[in-house]
Every structure is written in C-alpha cells, then in structure tokens.
Structure 1
Amino acid sequence: MKYFSLFLLGMVIFFHQTEAQSVKSNKKENKSLIFPLNEDGSHYVKGTFLNQIWFRYNQSNPGSTVFGEARGETFDIGLRRTRIQVYGQLSDKVFFYTQFGQNNLSYRSPRKQGIFFLDAIGEYRVIGDQLSIGGGLTGWNGISRYSSPSVGSILSLDAPLYQQGTNDINDQFVRKFSIYAKGLIGKLDYRVVVSDPMSVQQSTGQEARIEENSLFAAEQGNAQFQGYFKYQFWDTESNLTPYQSGSYLGRKRVLNIGAGFMTQKDAMWNLAENRVDTLRSNLGLFAVDLFYDRPVDVQKGNAITFYAAYQNSDYGKNYVRNIGAMNPANGINGNGSFNGPGSAFPTIGTGDTFFAQGAYLFRRDLLGSSGTLQPYVSSQYSHFDLLDDPMLMYEGGVNWLINGHRTKLSLNYQNRPLFIQESSGDGNNWISGDRKGMVVMQFQVSL
C-alpha cells in the first residue's frame, strides 16, 4: 500500500499547484491555431495539440510480473496519448486531415520511440454536405459512436474499448487503409467504409497463431466493410472529421440514435476438433446506441450527458480478448488468472455487450474562476460465450474542467473482475472470482 499512499499525496500536491496556477484561466479567450488561405477564411490550415498524462495506482492481476519481477501493485506515470493534428480546407472541394503522435508511452516502453501517423487522408466534396468521398489511413469506422472517439472530449478516461473491435489486431489504433463515403441527408448522418485490413503478423495485440478457440487469421485478409448511421433529432453534430464527442459541456442540445456494423469474410480461424484441420469464420459485429447531451440551464451552464449501447459480436468460436490500457505489467507467472497481467480484463469477445455512462456538469462558475466539476459513472456488462459468468466492469470519477476540455484534471476509479477456472462435472468453467481496482489521475492539456 506504500504506492497508494504516495499516489494520494501526489494527487493532493498536484491539485493544489494546478488550482493555484489556473485561477484566471477561464477568463481568457480561447483561440485556435489557424492560418487562412483566402480572404474570407473558407480555405485554411489548422493545427491542434493534445497531451494526456496518467498518474496511476493499480492492484495487479494475480501472477503479474514486470520484467520477470512479481508485482502485486504498481504505481506509474505515463503519456496515455500525445497528438498533433494538421488539417484544412484547401479549396471548396478538397479537404485534408493528418494526425500524428504517440500512445501508451510508459516506464516499461522502449525508449526514444518515434512519433507515427495515426491519420493521413484526402477528401473530395462531391455534393455539398450530402456526399464526400475520401481515402487513406483513417479512423472513419463503423459499428458505433465510440468506434471513432474524439479523445480530447472523452467523458471518462477512455472511450469503451470494446467498440474498437479490431484495435491493433488488423488496424493501427482503430485506423485502417480505407475508402469511405460520408455525409448528411436531412437529419441522417452516415458513413460507409471499405477497408484493407493490416497484417495480423505485424500486430501488437495478437501473435500469429492458431488454436482451438477463434483468433484473427494470420493470412492475407479479405476486404472489410463497415458503416455507422445516426439520426439527429436536435442539433447537428459536425462530421468534418470521423471523431465523435463524448460531451459538449452544455454547448449543444443533442439527441441521436445510431446503428452500425462491421463485417469481414474469413477474418477468423480456429482448429477443428481433430486439431489438424483449419476452420474459418466470418467477422460480424452489429450495434445500436443512443447519445443524449443537453444543457439544463443555459445561463448557469450546467448540463447532462448520457450514452447507452448494445453490441452483438461474432468473432468465431469462443473468442475473448483481454485488454489493459497502457498495461503496467508485461508478464505473468504460474499464479496467473484468465485475465493475464497487470490491469487487463475480458473486454472484447463473441457474445453480447451492454454499455452505459452518464454525467452531470455543474454550473460553470461552481469553483469561481477555477472552473467547474463533472462527475460521471460508466459500466460495461458482457456475456461472452467462453465465460460462464458475465463480465461486469464499472468505474466512476470526476472531471475538474479548469478551462473546458482544453485544461482538465480527472480522477477515475475502475473496478474489474478476475476470471478463474473451476472444475465441475461439466468440465472446466471460467467463473468470476475476486475483483481488482485501479485509480488514475489524468491531466489533459490541449490547444
């Protein structure tokens, strides 16, 4: 528990120092880094920057090791996301978008990692707002709202990662080489995408292997088809980029219902019962969701945000993937559980998943010139075919919005289940046993 004590002390000091330095921050006018290319500013190039720093205490999953050393708990500091965007309207018809940076740089990462491109696209406006066509390395994705999250406005510390169904398996942090069409027809916002999946052999999320239970096939993949459609009852959201906001902080009145899909022929494989023949199966994901975000009192600036989603996932026979964001452990010994090392838990798999989150934004001057607070709760409930018990993850926290999303300090507690194997008359069953927790403080600065 010494790490937890140090963590709490660090939080107190950090909160105090940040508050002292930010007394006047919300009185200053926010401006963008933008360079007009014509007199009326309709052609432009714009730049943005974002940095999310994590200060984290984690109760490790059983058997977790860090470079061979057993660790029952960890405290670490890392860069969860560092991003630079450069994009713009070059003519009435031509738009470009690039994003580069770094993800998950922590104490156990290789040093001096180079930045890489997350996005690099060109887009042509065919018919006004109704149809644009583009292509390149892009996050224009299907399935659901947070398959393409706007990381700077995420409500909690992470968007629901299960919605990023192939993350780092045959894509690059949800980006793929794709051709897409997007637009707005009345109140209907749509995106349809054809992607060329990346090689599983180069994946950081799965080894190129075949087992009795389904895995992504390590062979040349077929085209992937995906789409997302949302009907906007109230205000219209921007679709300039693929990334969708987690909270508008009372600046919009939004009520959307959405539905989406992702399919790929023979994306998965597994061994037949004879453990010799290879069986192939299609990837099929389908989701529906609802997003609600509106001010309670425009003058006071308080607001409510709510999101709910259901997803049916078919990754083939008994597929389950454990995920631990910026995992603080990198190995496991003989005392391990199904979860694997560090902070991982069953996140993605064949079965059904329900997700919900909600938040309340207090009035804008709750803390005077130091901003306001936005408490939130979030939970994922999944029935995976492989596991005999449901997976329930829940978390809650508070965002201290010092200067909106541009400068905010977040404190988050997450609780996750551990799955262990139990022998019974029916064979070996994976059941939910003990639970572990993780506390993260994130400091976000953006331009």
Structure 2
Amino acid sequence: MALLKWPGLFRAIPLLLLAQGVQAQNFIKDRKLYLNESGSSYVKFTVLGQFWLRQQELNPGTTINGTPKDNSTDIGIRRLRMQVYGQLTDRAFFYVQLGQNNFNNISDRKQGFFVHDAYGEYAIVKQKLSLGAGLSGWSGLSRFSSPSAGTIMGVDAPLHLQSTNDVTDQFLRKLSVFAKGKIGRFDYRLVMAQPHAIQKSAGYNGAISLASNFSPKAPSMQWNGYFQWQFLDQESNLTPYTQGTYLGAKRVLNIGAGFIYQKDALWRTSSARDTLMEDMAHFSGDVYYDAPAGPGGQALNLYASVAHYGFGKNYIRNQATMNPANGNTNPDVLNGSGNGYPAFGTGTTVYAQAGYKLRDSLIGSTTLMPYIALQYADYDRLNDKMLFVDAGINWLLSGHTSKLTLSYQNRPIYNAAGDQTKRLGAFTLQYQVFFN
C-alpha cells in the first residue's frame, strides 16, 4: 500500500531511463566509449576472427601423428583477437590485446587466449614524442614487421619481415621500452627490447654446429628502429600496427628504412671447433603506395621491400603457418614437416605485392580485390634462390569488416644440401570478421 503513495516516482522512472539512454548514446560513438564530453578520453574495443579452410600438398616425408601424408585438408582458426585500448588522459594511453593463433585439429585443446600486447605510453611532447613500455608490437626493420592483421590485403602478412617471430619474441611482440612520434611528415619509432629466452621457443635445440643459430646464453638487449617519410596523406601511429590497405579511403605514399641489431645473438663453431659468437644485424628499405585509382571507388595498392638479414653464417629457418603436420621421416628434406619452407636466412630477400580494388557495388553491394605477392630470397645456406608466391582474390562483402579471400600459394622444396628439388602448392579460403 505504501507504494501507492509514490505515483509520481513511477511516472518518472521511464523518463529517467530514457535520459540515461540518450546520455549513453552521446558517450558511445565510432565504437568508442567516451570518458568525457569532448571525447578526448575514451576506451575502444575491437574483435578479429580469421577462419581457414585449406587444401595443400605436404612436404616429402610428412607424417601426422605417425601417419604418412602427402596432402591434407584442414580447418583452423588462423587468428582470434580481442583488443581494448584508450586515451585515459590527454597524455596517457594504454593498449591490451589478447588472442590465439594457429588453432587446428592437432593443437593442444583448451589452450586459451594469451597476451599479445600489454603496454602503456605517455606523450612527452604531443604528437612528436611518446615514451612507452611493456609487451608490444613496436618494432623496427620495415612497415610490415608490425602489420595490422585485420587490414592485410592477402590471406596473410609477409611473415618473413617479422624476423624473430616466436623465436626470441612472442608472435613478433617484444618486452621493450620505446619512443615514437611524428615530426611533420617524418614518422619514427625506436625500441630497446629484451629478447625472450630461446630455450622457451618451439622445437628448441641447444646443440651448436657449423651453421649459426641463436645462442642459449643470456641475451643482450636488442635495438630496433623504423623511419618513414609520408609524402601524401598522414597515417596514424596510435598503435604499432600498420595498415595493409585503405581500400581507397586514403592517398598514401611512404618511403621507409629500418634496422634490428643485437650483439652476440647467435653462435656457431669454427672448423677448428672453436665457439664463435655473431651479432644479429638486419637492415631494410621499403616503399608503400595506396590510393584511389579510378571512378566508383577503385583503388590500387603497391608495396615493395628489400631486406638484408644478418643472422650469422648459413642460418636458415622455416616458416610453417598453422602447420597441419607434426613429423617428417625424410632427413633429406630441409623444409621439415607439413607446409614449411625456408622463409628466413642470412642473405637478401625482396618482397613485392600489388592489388587492385574494383569498383564499388560490382556484385550487388559487394566488390572484388585481386592481388599477388612474391618473396624472392638469396640466402647463403641455399644453392638455389627461394621464391614464394601468393596470389588470390578478396571478395569484400563489407570492406575489411566481412570478407572472403581465396589464395593460392606455391613454395619451393629443398634437400639438405640446399638444392631445390620441386615445388608444392596450397589453396586457402579465409573468412574474416573484423569489428573495429
């Protein structure tokens, strides 16, 4: 009965809820939760999923749980990521990314998300100089040493430009202190990183040989830098991850150069069985162009890089993305099991990609973007040059938010002596959803 004494309160509740809803709408815009009325302080959440269906030829001698296989069809989650970041004050910024990579039917079950990034930064001089620390993708060498996975043009990033991926870092992320900023059209990043222990890397083997490999001794600090001049539209350096393609939304022309250096990172033995330490020293230059190219939303994307890798004498390492296999009975195959190929090595590697977005509403409200990418490498360990080819087409259902990519990749197979013996291929169909 007492409630009947307060009819005005019940009439006011819907009005109060409506007012709160209007206020919430004012503070949620562009998928950001604004923390103040001006919007200068905010928190943002993003989600990325990339799901693969793949048919591929497997390296000679490959086994899956002991069963010999020369080809496979597999389904997997290439990437699953969740990000939260925000500008807490006009100078304080934080970034956290959790996720999972390369989950397929031979992966450990219920392995859970792991931390990709967790860092904070403070703007000493706004736009011009920010300092930060933590686990981050701020890295040197090249533009796509830290790619924005949700905006890459093809089915995957040029992974060879992540030169120590999951060897002495955590899927390219490093425990580091960094400085970054923009001075006019000059964009820079400088990083002091502490390498992860090589003993914790997958497939670690502590044996020393005549060919260089990462030393198990306590590592020295690693120094990274990447610098670019942005001729046309300016790009954001809010996070370390660089855009794959803007799909014609910007006119960008950048020229960049970078390096990675670590003293005594690798070791080997001499012919006299003396232990020799070798520095890791990488240098690269690149050019990036992405711009509208015709009426109706057509756009062109071009990128090229040249990198010299100094890993030490005869260093070679395979890349086996979401490897469907876990064994190889043929010791004469340099590539290892499954879909591995020698993507990393001491020597020079050239990479180029090109893509063309066709006019908007080509197929209903959707459109297409074909592309091709090539990695050509002259590595000391190999007698024959290494050429990796990736060509495909994107069906842009809703830009990068929802897209299907069909890719054909072709890789070389080498014997233990470093001679190319054959080439094998793979077809990959990827569906991407990206809430950004």
CA separation of 1:261 and 1:125: change in aligned 2, threshold 3 A: same
Post-superposition CA distance 1:94-142 (Å, at most 9, x none): 0000000100110000000121110000000011100000010000000
Confirm whether residue 416 of structure 1 aligns to residue 414 of structure 2.
no
The offset of 1:40, in angstroms, is 1.2
How many angstroms apart in 2 are the aligned matches of 1:173 and 1:32? 29
Residue in structure 1 matched with residue 311 of structure 2 by the alignment:
315
Higher-Rg structure is 2
Residue in structure 2 matched with residue 10 of structure 1 by the alignment:
none
Residue in structure 2 matched with residue 80 of structure 1 by the alignment:
78
Q: 1:430 aligns with which of 385, 407, 418?
A: 418
Please tell me whether the aligned partners of residues 310 and 354 of structure 1 are also in contact (alpha carbons under 8 angstroms).
Answer: yes
The offset of 1:264, in angstroms, is 0.2
The residue type paired with residue 282 of structure 1 is D
Please list, as runs of the form range in 1=range in 2, the aligned pairs for 1:4-403 lying within 5 A after superposition: 32-204=30-202, 206-275=204-273, 277-297=274-294, 299-334=295-330, 337-369=333-365, 371-403=366-398
The residue type paired with residue 250 of structure 1 is G
The residue type paired with residue 418 of structure 1 is I
Post-superposition CA distance 1:122-176 (Å, at most 9, x none): 0000111000000100000000011000000111111111110111111000001
The offset of 1:208, in angstroms, is 3.1
Please tell me whether the aligned partners of residues 64 and 336 of structure 1 are also in contact (alpha carbons under 8 angstroms).
Answer: no
- Number of residue pairs the alignment of both structures matches: 408
The residue type paired with residue 125 of structure 1 is A
The offset of 1:32, in angstroms, is 4.3
How many angstroms apart in 1 are the aligned matches of 2:418 and 2:265? 26
How many angstroms apart in 2 are the aligned matches of 1:352 and 1:205? 25
The offset of 1:209, in angstroms, is 3.0
How many angstroms apart in 2 are the aligned matches of 1:58 and 1:385? 28
How many angstroms apart in 2 are the aligned matches of 1:284 and 1:366? 47
What percentage of aligned pairs have identical amino acids? Answer: 49
The offset of 1:385, in angstroms, is 0.3
The residue type paired with residue 47 of structure 2 is F
| Bigger Cα displacement from structure 2, 196-205 vs 134-143 | 196-205
How many angstroms apart in 2 are the aligned matches of 1:43 and 1:310? 40
SS of equivalent residue, structure 1 residue 300: helix
How many angstroms apart in 2 are the aligned matches of 1:233 and 1:344? 38
Please tell me whether the aligned partners of residues 345 and 379 of structure 2 are also in contact (alpha carbons under 8 angstroms).
Answer: yes
The residue type paired with residue 413 of structure 2 is L
Residue in structure 2 matched with residue 19 of structure 1 by the alignment:
none
Post-superposition CA distance 1:288-339 (Å, at most 9, x none): 0000000013x51110000000001110010000111011111100365111
SS of equivalent residue, structure 1 residue 40: coil
How many angstroms apart in 2 are the aligned matches of 1:113 and 1:33? 29
CA RMSD of aligned residues (A): 1.3
How many angstroms apart in 1 are the aligned matches of 2:269 and 2:231? 47
Please tell me whether the aligned partners of residues 168 and 205 of structure 1 are also in contact (alpha carbons under 8 angstroms).
Answer: no
Please tell me whether the aligned partners of residues 253 and 289 of structure 2 are also in contact (alpha carbons under 8 angstroms).
Answer: yes
The offset of 1:212, in angstroms, is 1.6
CA separation of 1:122 and 1:355: change in aligned 2, threshold 3 A: same
TM-score, normalised via structure 1 length:
0.90
The residue type paired with residue 105 of structure 1 is F
Post-superposition CA distance 1:165-200 (Å, at most 9, x none): 111111000001000000001101000000011100
The offset of 1:205, in angstroms, is 5.6
SS of equivalent residue, structure 2 residue 296: coil
Q: Which residues of structure 2 form unaligned runs of 5+?
A: 1-28
Please tell me whether the aligned partners of residues 135 and 174 of structure 2 are also in contact (alpha carbons under 8 angstroms).
Answer: yes
How many angstroms apart in 1 are the aligned matches of 2:376 and 2:147? 20
SS of equivalent residue, structure 2 residue 405: strand
The residue type paired with residue 413 of structure 1 is Y
Please tell me whether the aligned partners of residues 414 and 438 of structure 1 are also in contact (alpha carbons under 8 angstroms).
Answer: yes
CA separation of 1:63 and 1:32: change in aligned 2, threshold 3 A: farther
The residue type paired with residue 55 of structure 2 is Y
SS of equivalent residue, structure 2 residue 90: coil
Q: Which residues of structure 1 form unaligned runs of 5+?
A: 1-30, 422-428
| Bigger Cα displacement from structure 2, 70-79 vs 329-338 | 329-338
SS of equivalent residue, structure 2 residue 419: strand
TM-score, normalised via structure 2 length:
0.92
Please tell me whether the aligned partners of residues 61 and 336 of structure 1 are also in contact (alpha carbons under 8 angstroms).
Answer: no
| Bigger Cα displacement from structure 2, 259-268 vs 386-395 | 386-395
The residue type paired with residue 258 of structure 2 is G
